[in-house]
Amino acid sequence: MIRLTTPISDEQILGLKVGDQVSLSGVILTGRDAAHKYMIDNFIGKANPTPSEHQVYGRLKAVLKGGVIYHCGPVVGGLETKQYRFVAAGPTTSSREEPYQADVIKHFGLKGVIGKGGMGAKTSTACVEHRACYLHAIGGAAVFLAQSVVKVTDVLKLEFGVPEAMWIIEVKDFPVVVTMDAHGGSLHRDIATASAEVLKRLVGVK
């Protein structure tokens, strides 16, 4: 088991290989479809953020530089009192963020992406070029994973709705597996290729 704490360095990322088990601690950010599109439209696609978004931009830069984004739509308690706590924190399907993820990695200096199902060639290339990796979380274990969330520090863009808001959280010993590394390795690509070959044999295609 490899233990990592955010912020994560290039050297630590380069030391990871596909198949490595990682225990992650530190501050990370949740972000799904609305969050990624918001970052592209308001920050990455513009020279400067608007004055009304400047504070959000500063918070994102501070968390994501050397940091990790988690594709997660959490179930959150304490909404009425703002004493937030994560009740469930399972990963969502990452492929939906493929159009955005490479640009977010590059712009913010992101070092890790957590989700399930893997991502495509564009994200894999960005992981190599910018020293990042994809970390696969356990699907179907949302309540178990929420136990690794020790603190909710802040929430950005709660108006997007609880699952789509960007939650800044502190995790301890969050369990993940490296399935896309900074050396071009992708377990998801390898499995897809091997499965296609097996399918061909099964249906008699040469």
Per the CB < 8 A criterion, the answer to whether 19 and 177 are in contact is: yes
- The question of whether 36 is a catalytic residue gets the answer yes
Identify the burial level of 83 via C-beta atoms within 10 angstroms of its C-beta, where 0-12 means exposed, 13-18 middle and 19 or more buried: exposed
Cis peptide before 7 (omega within 30 of 0): yes
End-to-end CA distance of the chain: 42
CA 98, chain centre distance (Å): 11
Q: In this structure, is the dihedral angle defined by the CA atoms of residues 70, 72, 76 and 82, taken in order, positive or negative?
A: positive
Catalytic residue among 36, 130, 136, 188: 36
The rounded distance, in Å, linking the Cα atoms of 174 and 69 is 13
The rounded distance, in Å, linking the Cα atoms of 188 and 145 is 22
The rounded distance, in Å, linking the Cα atoms of 64 and 111 is 8
* Residues that are catalytic: 36
